[in-house]
Structure 1
């Protein structure tokens, strides 16, 4: 039992995930852009766009990844929006229905709303981002594609996502790996019929050697709590379910979720996905093995 892994990258994916991060992601304040990112972006947006971004129908935004994947020709933002604008609702249904079985909204009105919102988001925010972002994304996609022939699918996904292990199971036929920056360090994962889309986090190279990297700080913060260390010790023995971890630590569910999230974002915890949910967690020692050298490299670099 196995599945196929495919790697894909396009600026359109990042356009969509950046908007998703702005309007949907409940933890956007913790992303690599910093807590002030959303507030700063809001100042750039028109009142008209801000109002449209509150429309509940944008909840289907993530499904556009299935259309980006199938978009013909050069997948620039402009070409994609032109292609989507000129597609009849029936064509959109045909391109989505192999993986999405039901649609709650009128496709025509939702398509017009999404095209309008993405067009204005591009004009007011996305086209002004550092071009280096898109170069980093393409480079990451190319690197992962080169690893495909020689790396087992499960291991490659775990490596890209910093700890998500998609276990082979009935119903999973393909996993699409897409690099993204705006939701870093989170992986945005969507489950469809037979398909999983993993938008994995890619970090930007450090520009200021006096500032510790986001990755290094995440790891150090994750290790700075007694309960998290106890969780790591517990799951090092064997994979444990959320229920088992909660019983062992003796905290309420919300606090357990908080600690598990901190460990997952640092890459210290492996999440074992079966079908569309996490069944268990185990320790992932890679970040610890590099921690001493990462700290030494930072200290040496800042005092040269």
Structure 2
């Protein structure tokens, strides 16, 4: 964003294809540190592992959310528009290691150590995951994500304040200008809610954001709204909000202000972020500072009154 102008230095696009959720679902499985934080049933990981073969389970146990996995997200983006998961895998299978080097080099100078092995392993894992889990996914998930992307795209077409649009869509993210950045790609996801997946590749930044879409929210208080209530149910979090009312602060400054451990502070900040009360300023893939979203206090009040009274 140009300072003081409110104009973004990069283009914004909202998109969704099932192949992105194929990756998001697998990301949810291999990002083990997040298993207790996801909105899916606590039993999802165990139940899913029971559905797949021991061979695939063994492969997944060896995978990490690392630079190779990041490259997989780039390839999903570079695949021709409209490609289904099967077409994405067929496209990848036709690419030689040399082809992949050329594709990746336009966006990143970080390559897998052995491109041939990376290609082979990626094809094996994604094909097996698709066959054993993803293709059996409840169709409403894909339909809901398509609807979310279509609604946001329509909203974007009439939007004059792009920074506000990005923040509302992602529940509190703002992306700082960065040399060479030309496009921010916003992709709704389901499995990894309420968290985001952010990858920066030179000219583009991908933000796979929580769609705030659930299969059983017709009768329940939606999880993202319930999170708003829970986020405020701790004195230290209220102190953080009051501290941020004075302006943006770094994580280190918040830790010093609270005078508690980094781990506990990080947990408080994460809950305030998932509740939508604080804004995370993203520089590439890194959060540089946090700031208050005061309007969300009014939003929470209205939603609570609507739920109880109406």
TM-score between both structures, scaled by the size of structure 2: 0.90
Deviation of the 1:48 alpha carbon: 0.5
Which of 253, 258, 280 is the equivalent residue of 2:289? 280
The answer as to whether partners of 1:4 and 1:153 remain within 8 angstroms in 2 is no
Q: Comparing 206-215 with 32-41, which one deviates more in the overlay?
A: 206-215
Name the counterpart of 1:68: 76
Name the counterpart of 1:5: 12
Residues in 1 aligned to 2:230 and 2:220: alpha-carbon distance in whole angstroms? 15
Which of 89, 107, 116 is the equivalent residue of 1:108? 116
Which of 95, 105, 114 is the equivalent residue of 1:97? 105
Change in CA separation of 1:56 and 1:42 when aligned onto 2, cut-off 3 Å? closer
The answer as to whether partners of 2:188 and 2:208 remain within 8 angstroms in 1 is yes
The answer as to whether partners of 1:12 and 1:68 remain within 8 angstroms in 2 is yes
1:53 alignment partner, SS class: helix
The gaps in structure 2 that reach 5 residues or longer are 3-8
Which of 87, 101, 104 is the equivalent residue of 2:95? 87
Deviation of the 1:280 alpha carbon: 1.5
Deviation of the 1:21 alpha carbon: 0.8
Change in CA separation of 1:111 and 1:273 when aligned onto 2, cut-off 3 Å? same
Aligned residues: 301
In the TM superposition, what are the counterparts of 1:47-196 in structure 2 within 5 Å? 47-56=54-63, 59=66, 60-72=68-80, 74-149=82-157, 150-196=159-205
Name the counterpart of 1:17: 24
The answer as to whether partners of 2:198 and 2:285 remain within 8 angstroms in 1 is no
Deviation of the 1:8 alpha carbon: 2.0
Name the counterpart of 2:268: 259
Name the counterpart of 1:44: 51
Residues in 2 aligned to 1:257 and 1:171: alpha-carbon distance in whole angstroms? 31
Deviation of the 1:200 alpha carbon: 0.9
The answer as to whether partners of 1:29 and 1:36 remain within 8 angstroms in 2 is no
The answer as to whether partners of 1:29 and 1:37 remain within 8 angstroms in 2 is no
The gaps in structure 1 that reach 5 residues or longer are none
The answer as to whether partners of 2:17 and 2:82 remain within 8 angstroms in 1 is no
The answer as to whether partners of 1:57 and 1:110 remain within 8 angstroms in 2 is no
1:237 alignment partner, SS class: coil
Q: Comparing 280-289 with 132-141, which one deviates more in the overlay?
A: 280-289
- 1:268 matched to 2:285? The reply is no
Name the counterpart of 1:224: 233
Change in CA separation of 1:132 and 1:151 when aligned onto 2, cut-off 3 Å? farther
Deviation of the 1:297 alpha carbon: 3.4
2:226 alignment partner, SS class: helix
Deviation of the 1:210 alpha carbon: 4.9
Deviation of the 1:300 alpha carbon: 5.0
Residues in 1 aligned to 2:70 and 2:282: alpha-carbon distance in whole angstroms? 20
| CA distances 1:141-200 after superposition (whole Å, capped 9, x unpaired) | 112222334243322221121101112233322211111111111111112223211001
Q: Comparing 208-217 with 258-267, which one deviates more in the overlay?
A: 208-217
Root mean square deviation, CA, Å: 1.9
Change in CA separation of 1:56 and 1:132 when aligned onto 2, cut-off 3 Å? closer
2:174 alignment partner, SS class: strand
Residues in 1 aligned to 2:70 and 2:116: alpha-carbon distance in whole angstroms? 17
